[in-house]
Structure formats: C-alpha cells, structure tokens
Chains A and B, each alone.
Chain A
Amino acid sequence: QKEVEQDPGPLSVPEGAIVSLNCTYSNSAFQYFMWYRQYSRKGPELLMYTYSSGNKEDGRFTAQVDKSSKYISLFIRDSQPSDSATYLCAIGGTYKYIFGTGTRLKVLA
C-alpha cells in the first residue's frame, strides 16, 4: 500500500466549476500537508501549505485536512482554463515529502 493515495484522473470540468481533489494517507505521524501545482514540463509550484486539521483558504483555493480520517482535499472555486495542470498532494513528517501520483485536471473553456 502506498503511503499517499491520489486519484490520477484525468478530471475534466467546465470553466467556472468547483473542483475537488483528494488524497488519503496512511501514516498518522505526518504533520504537514501541501498541495503543489505542476504545469507540463515545469517543476511543482506550491499552492497550499498547512499543518493543522481544518480549512485554509487562499483566493479561489481551499485546502482541507482531516487528520482523524487521514484525508486531505483541495477545492478550486470558479475554475479557469489556466488551472489546467497536474495537482500533487504531499505529506511531510520530518524533512522529506511523500507525494501522491498527482491528479491531471483539465478545465474546459
């Protein structure tokens, strides 16, 4: 079993839709939770970083962490074609990150 499970998609949505991306993890020792966005042929770009259960909002993006269920989510409101990318969840315990496989998202104009 992988330490972090993430649905690879692809996920296609119309412009303006609310997108929900999810990951589950197995090790409760993880304390830090990140979402990265990766465009084709680019490196991962940090979107959200949190270390507590609950919600964290930044513009159109909301990260949600439920430590009791070992479940993390990223919500994108009013999705735009420019949001089309691969979204990676990452879990951090000590110093190294453990990544999910990434979900490919396509927002259709």
Chain B
Amino acid sequence: EAGVTQFPSHSVIEKGQTVTLRCDPISGHDNLYWYRRVMGKEIKFLLHFVKESKQDESGMPNNRFLAERTGGTYSTLKVQPAELEDSGVYFCASSQAPGSEETQYFGPGTRLLVL
C-alpha cells in the first residue's frame, strides 16, 4: 500500500512568488492534515480536512495560505505571495478514523525555501 506522497520534495522560490504544494493521502483516508516545521521549531498543525471539508484551519498562519481538497482526494496548499518566514518543511498526514482515534501517517514533506 502506498503511503502519503507529497510533491515537490523541494522548492526554492523568491519572495513574492507563488508556490503550490500537493499531498496525496493514503487511499481511503478521509482525514488529511497539513503541518509545518520551521527551522529550530517543533512541527505545528496547520489544518484538517475531512473529505473535502475543512474541519479546522486554526493553525493557518495568515490569509496568504490557501488549502483545498477538491473531491476529497488529494490536497493542495498554496502560498501567495510567499514571504521569507514561510520557509520550512511542510508535512501532510492522513488517517482513516477521525480525530486521534487512529494514528496519523506522515508524508516525506516538502522543503520550501523562500529567498
């Protein structure tokens, strides 16, 4: 069974540009999560989808970040326009059961560097 996949693995962009990250969850997992780790800090929650619906986006830093999950399958996270402080590793995770009843499986992450 394929795990959570993320694309691209790395992205280097200039301040002010737009970047779109993609996450493909494990097949059949209705719950999809985005997390971010900035340099030297812990991994922090960004938002949670159940199918195509956003359940909680309280961790999104600001309105420059837009997450979508059309059709309830893969998800995209767009940063527009990117700022220097957006640099970090963006992780996607998925789980079958809601909440923490079942563990979340993480993807390899997308390493974003904003210059």
Contact = CB atoms under 8 A, between A and B. Distances in A.
Interface residues of B, number: 25
Interface string A74-105: 00000000000000100011111111111000
Contacts of A34: 103
Interface stretch (A9-17, A40-48, A56-64, A65-73): A40-48
A102 B100 CA distance: 20
18 contacts: A2-B42, A31-B100, A34-B103, A36-B106, A42-B108, A43-B4, A43-B6, A43-B91, A46-B103, A46-B106, A92-B100, A93-B100, A95-B33, A95-B99, A96-B56, A97-B45, A99-B35, A99-B44
Nearest to B97: A95
A43 B4 CA distance: 10
A43 B33 CA distance: 14
Interface of B: 4, 6, 31, 33, 35, 41-45, 48, 55-56, 59, 91, 98-100, 103-109
| Interface hub of B6, B33, B43, B108 (most chain A Cβ within 10 A) | B43
Contact of B106 (A31, A41, A45, A92): A45
Contacts of A96: 33, 45, 48, 56, 59
B65 to A, nearest CB: 16
B48 to A, nearest CB: 6
Interface residues of A, number: 26
| Interface hub of A46, A49, A95 (most chain B Cβ within 10 A) | A95
Contact of A99 (B6, B43, B55, B107): B43
A68 to B, nearest CB: 20
